[in-house]
Amino acid sequence: MPAADQRTPGLDELVGRLDALIALPHVAEEYIRFRVDLLKAQWAVRQALAATPLSGPAPEPARAATRSQAGPTKPVLGPSTVPFDPGLLRGLFAALHKAAIEHGRQTEDMQRLAAAVEEDPALLQELACRAAFGPEMEALEGLARNLRVLVDVLLFIGRALASPFVVEAARRLAIQSGGSVPAQAGGRCRMCGSLPSFARLRRKDGRRILHCGLCGRNWEFTRLACPCCGSADRDALNLLRLSEGDPRWIETVSYTHLTLPTKRIV
């Protein structure tokens, strides 16, 4: 089944959307500027990848179709099917680090990570793989302890590094399979296995569309259900808004309304 929306916005349109956020209340301009520079760096990597044949194995269309017919299974893309070019990874990290310095996002954690990458550039590929697929939180937490940085920092940077490579791998898979991509089922992306970064309600029919922040895929999902835990208990689902009538909100689940498994201690 194809993604819910076919059109992919270009770089200028995406930058314009980000710039438009600056005029809104409760939005930090420096953070938006940081995200714009990061987006441009990621876009440059995507352009470079699109112009150069990728090395390493690619998912076969037949294999992807088999998986889609079998229902919820492992995602099609993973570390073995998404080659990470070391040079492009280093260039992207350098651009991310520069943007962090220029827009007030430079922290002690970022400095420690930059020093570790200078000493061991292969760390970038490990970080991208572990943050993108899973994510492998146990491994990331161990890495965070060794580097003395917050695990959330590693998760954000790892996924930022991995994203253009995963997007390009997903694009090539769609071309290779003649536009036939795995049917979507559940709250996780069937292409890369990520949870959605955000959701929106489609204007024309009110359908809820989930968006993967890693590979860019989007798909329809039940409107009154949590994609993370699967709960459809309406008494447990809540909304948090900055103000009444705000078109943006955060969806939460109140676990006091859910029946959780209990363990008897003898």
**Position 35: which residue type?**
R
Beta-carbon contacts of residue 161 (< 8 Å; ≥ 6 apart):
89, 92, 93, 96, 124, 127, 128, 131
Q: What is the pLDDT of residue 58?
A: 47
pTM of the model: 0.80
Q: What is the pLDDT of residue 73?
A: 62
- Using CA atoms, how far apart are residues 139 and 227, in angstroms rounded to an integer? 24
Q: What is the pLDDT of residue 169?
A: 92
Q: What is the pLDDT of residue 184?
A: 66
C-alpha separations of 68 from 60, 78, 191, 223 in Å = 13, 16, 10, 23
Yes or no: say if 50 and 61 are a contact pair by the CB < 8 Å rule: no
Q: Average pLDDT of each block of 10 consecutive residues along the chain (266 residues)?
A: 57 93 89 96 96 57 39 76 94 97 92 96 96 93 96 96 95 76 74 88 86 89 79 72 71 60 38
Q: What is the pLDDT of residue 25?
A: 81
Q: What is the pLDDT of residue 127?
A: 97
